[in-house]
Amino acid sequence: MQEKLFRGKLKKNDEWATGGIAFGGAEFEGKIYITSPDVEDGRVVWMHEVYPETVGQYTGMKDKNGKEIYEGDIVKGLVMFQDNIMEVKGVVKFVHGRFVIAEYNCSLYEFANIPSKKSNEIEVIGNKYQNP
């Protein structure tokens, strides 16, 4: 089973962090944290508050340059649509239980329709937080 990995922009310095995710308890209500578990025993080593709107889940795929693809990334590349390979550019979203590339004309293309199934046809070119 694949471990769920998240990314978020840290409130303390505007840098990006990846790791687990934690939601604030009673005294931290409404806050979201990216966490790093200890490899040996699973306890949290560090926990940093992030801007909630920047949190995105890892898709489990890397682009053609080996970069992890997260929700909120802007990608371009080739997908299969009705037996045709076509070039698309859009934002990675999680819709109805699956990751898709949402083009700006509202078309959705599932990651399952990437011709190679290994994402070597897709490239991360930015993210919606830094390149709206």
The CATH number for 64's domain is 2.30.30.290
Helix, strand or coil for residue 106? coil
Range(s) of the domain holding residue 95: 59-127
Please say if the pLDDT value at position 123 is more than 90: yes
Please say if the pLDDT value at position 112 is more than 80: no
- The CA–CA distances, whole Å, from 13 to 21, 23, 49, 91, 119 equal 18, 20, 10, 25, 31
Residues 85 and 122 in one domain: yes
Residue at which a domain ends, from 54, 76, 94: 54
Residue 1 belongs to some domain of the structure: no
d(CA 3, CA 14): 25
| Better-predicted residue by pLDDT, 77 or 39 | 77
pTM above 0.75, yes or no: yes
Residues 50 and 66 in one domain: no
Residues 66 and 121 in one domain: yes
pLDDT-above-70 percentage for the chain: 84
HSE-up of 109 (CA within 13 Å, CB side)? 25
Residue 132 belongs to some domain of the structure: no
Residues 90 and 121 in one domain: yes
